[in-house]
Chain A
Amino acid sequence: MILPRGVAQPTELIKRLNALAPFPSGVVNLRFTVENDWSGDPAIFFWITLSDEGARPAVLSQTSRRIMDFVTQRLDPMGQWGLIPYFNFRSQSEQANLKEEVFG
């Protein structure tokens, strides 16, 4: 079995991800985990905390689309790293309340 590059070269992946900054407006924090998705395919999960302004319902869709496009185009998770990208968003005030570790 051939490991996807994102699994075989984690240090390279981290280096590439760190080089993505600065992120589009609205991003307060961006973390990621590499694990299999529900069907066993290798994947990269992004856990993104948004500013409360960027997470307002009226603009949330544009904010998230801008960030997903930014990461997908700059990193090309599937083409370059063999990882299916999944994105999870929450607002800064939600994270302050929930304090979920994966979001940082």
Chain B
Amino acid sequence: MAYHHDLIQHAVFLSELNLPHEPKQVDLRRAVSAAYYGLFHLLTTEAAQNWKHQNQRDRFARMFDHGRMKTCSSRVSSRPLSVDTAEVIIATALKLVADSFVKLQQARHSADYDNSKVWSRTQVREMIAQAEDAMAAWSNIRETEIAQDYLLDLMGTR
């Protein structure tokens, strides 16, 4: 199974630990982080697939920067949808991916660094669902031109 799927499965596993009792914060925090990295690795791996030399793809995937990916995703998430009905379905799916990326990244940052925040199982389940929905949306549009443009823009290029 692909690494990004493993990360989502791991996030689900962590979020359901200790049921029916209260979850441990450490499990919830690591689950949020795993959900974000599931989507992060899906996108960077997809971008790296476009690199011609297979033995350099892992190095290529490491060139992505979280901040630049957020800037790009935020821009995609907030831009108006195309009026072209043929493109609106694809654009809507891409907006879902980009918007989920921004939200999951913020959640991951909070989960990893802000110990004042208390997480609940519902919050974490919702984050995992966002990651899963974004991955499903991506699988439907991954070969389209705007999805491929997005991958390139994630590097911070214009």
Minimal Cβ-Cβ distance residue in B for A88: B123
B120 at the interface (CB under 8 A from A): yes
| Complex partner residue of B122 from A65, A79, A91, CB under 8 angstroms | A91
User: Is residue B133 contacting chain A, with contact meaning CB distance below 8 A?
Assistant: yes
Q: Which residues of B contact A87 (CB under 8 A)?
A: 103
Does B126 count as interface, using CB distance less than 8 angstroms? yes
Interface residues on chain B, size class: 20 to 34
A60-B126 Cα distance, complex, nearest whole Å: 7
Residues on the A chain within 8 Å of B9, using CB: none
Q: Report whether over half of chain B's contact residues are helix, strand or loop; otherwise say mixed.
A: helix
Other A-B contacts than A43-B106, A79-B78, A90-B123, 6 sampled, CB-CB below 8 A, are: A38-B106, A39-B67, A87-B103, A91-B122, A94-B122, A95-B120
Chain A residues close to B by CB (< 8 Å)? 37-39, 41, 43, 50, 55, 57, 60-61, 64-65, 78-79, 84, 86-91, 94-95, 97-98, 100
Chain A to chain B: the 6 pairs with minimum beta-carbon distance, closest first: A38-B109, A78-B78, A61-B129, A90-B120, A94-B120, A91-B122
Residues of chain B touching chain A, judged by Cβ–Cβ distance below 8 Å, are 22, 67, 70, 74, 77-78, 102-103, 105-107, 109-110, 113, 118, 120-123, 125-126, 129, 133
